[in-house]
Structure 1
Amino acid sequence: MIVLPKKIERKLKEEAEKTGVSEEELVLEALSKALNEPLDPEARLEVHLKLSEKYMREAEDLLAKGDYAQASEKAWGAAAQIVKALAAREGKEIRSHRELNEEVSRISKGTGDDEIRALWQSAAALHQNFYENWLPPDMVEGNIRDVRKFVEKMRKLF
């Protein structure tokens, strides 16, 4: 855990929301540049896999505590990070929601598995729920189960 001044923390959150990139990714990129240690595709893949696992654990913990909005966002993060990991494996870097959706579409078509697309839509609904908190608890729980299944399917593609 890194301790940051509130002003930096706020700007980091704002930039993450604006760019659709996690705070951890932004910090990693800044450190990579500052230390003159470029991130190769293998390093990016490792980071995205670890973040996906971390976010899925956090989603489960928050769900158990009844914090549905935060659980929603962590589950979305787990899904987005596993997609970014698959892209990194091919040397691609995803920097927007549009690119995430395009990559999921490509994976779904490439595997012939349309369930991938449908499960991804559950993750997208959770992302929206974080901002609007409109999903009833049972739907959040079901969508998080969908995200777990989505992440498992994606991991099998490695």
Structure 2
Amino acid sequence: MPLTTEQNEAWRSLVLLTHVLDDALDTQTQADGGLPHAYYKVLVFLYEAPDRRLTMAALARAQRYSPSRLTHAVKSMEKSGWLSRSVSESDGRVRIVQLTAEGIQLVRRVSPGQVRQVRERVFANLSDAQVGQLTAIGAKVIAALDA
């Protein structure tokens, strides 16, 4: 069964929105920090985590990354000095990823531009009610995708 006209318009709008917004945020993170937006998102999750560290499994779940994709990204960011990896003291099978001092500085340097971009490109164009609707819609779709 094909999409209705309204569903098709909404779908195309969502696809274009995510593409254009991700491109704008990637341009900003490259300019302000020399890193792709995908790496910035990983660093932010670590920055906001207790002790600025997470297991690889928890980080992969939070980012909705496959373990192999996350391993590739983490190796690259480790080479750049933004994070470090270690083995859990309590379970040798568990890998811990921790933000380094350099990673913390990078997040602090890039974040103001990121916030500015999101405010200007998204929230400046929405009413408070629309922000609430966007939150509810996003949560519902994410829950269905995660199920």
Structure number with higher strand proportion: 2
TM range (shorter): under 0.3
Structure possessing the higher radius of gyration over alpha carbons: 2
Structure number with the higher helix fraction is: 1
TM-score, normalised by the number of residues in structure 2: 0.27
